[in-house]
Structure 1
Amino acid sequence: MKLDGVLAIREHWAAPDEPVLLCAGAAGASTRFDVPGLDWSGSPAAGFAGKALRGVAGFAGNVVSAVADDDLGARELPGVVVFGGSPEALAPGAALASRQAAVAWLVLTPHRLAWVAAVPEPVEPEPEKSLFDRVGDLARGARDAFAGKSPYPPHEPVPTVAITTVAELPRPRITGAALAERKLPRGSVPGSATVLRVSLVDGSGVDVLAKGRPEAAQRLLALVNA
């Protein structure tokens, strides 16, 4: 099995002298949107046509809409919240481009802020196996797991998935990273969270929630500023 995440990003995407300062899962419900014209999931907001956009300044963290009573997933703490004055702003535009990726990450390096995705592996048909063979495979897998046997042999390179860029913003478009308080939609638990906020030149940006714990956000800030 090939590994993904930071290991794959370092091997297949980042330049040799480009450290990964921040890596957060950004696929599916891991990313939410605080953007006029979009709902919390990033879909076009119902009834938005004709409404004036709120100003970019002071926009971040002003989510006030309630999540639907039956939308339990929307109440869960996301990994990333993207904010901006419109869907065409820098951060929302980049994040929306990655919504279709099955496995994606938000990555910050000293040179860029990027949304990257795992390149899907070709699916090869498995040979037909008898019930006896399938039971044998399960037994061997369980035996190896109980014995603590690693699927990756020692002294051999660990296989990693290929990584591709979905969208990226160069360093000059990043204005800074700092701790901030993120207000969440009514009905969410908790109702707010301390985040690492990466801001861009047009007032848009991304909030990384780090499980909503202030100490975790502080560690992220220390890593970004290292």
Structure 2
Amino acid sequence: MMNLFRFCIVRTYLTIRYFFHWVTRTGSFGPGQARSLTSPPELSKGQSLQAALFRHHVKQYHESSCSVASVVCVVNVLRERYGRPGPTVTQQAILDKVRTAHWKERMGPDGYNGRRGLPLAVLRTVVQDSLVAYGVPFKEVEMIQGALDSGRNRVRRQIFGHLKKFQFLDNCLIIAHFDQGTFIKALNIPHISPVGGFDPSTGFVTILDVDPDQLAYDIPFDRFYKGIATGYAGVFRPFGYDRGGVVVVHLV
């Protein structure tokens, strides 16, 4: 009953916030809006990970399963890269195999102890355990939490550097944990999707959004950082969410 009460309050707050941004043309309705991609970009031969991300990109099967679609995409990309045998891993299969943090239960209608979805720290653990479960080699699974205080510039540089490594060195993959309403015209809720590309000359980051209602899109780096550095206005803290960020899979 308490979780239902909290949910109703949060939903009301989010709806009011959405209409405020719509009326005032702020937030995702303001400058630096997302640019939808109607087809995959042209990629060079050295960008094998990006090409594979577009091939294995899937949409979440219900409103809280963005983590499942994102992680299964990354697992299938890396199984292809390292020549692991077997059919493509499905979202249901990975939930049955990887039981970390009661992942499957969190996807149910009532969640696990009333908690649905994965906060950033739990996402990192689930990504790591999924790679281990499917025998995919990796060097490290790193979590970088966004910062809006004195550490902001350092964290921005760190994430910018990882985006460049992903784009040009093909040696890592990045999953973003962000406020969806900062990126696109949607409610300001926690969301998870893989990064599909980065152009440092323009500053645009490509998001392979797993939301079935969204195409892939490009957003300016400043908006990207703002979305992953969010504290979700504090309204999701009772459900285990603190701040957004990225999970970086460093490859061998």
Question: How high is the TM-score relative to the length of structure 1?
Answer: 0.25
When Rg is computed on C-alpha atoms for both structures, the one with the higher figure is 1
Specify which structure has the higher proportion of strand: 1
| Larger helix fraction of residues | 2
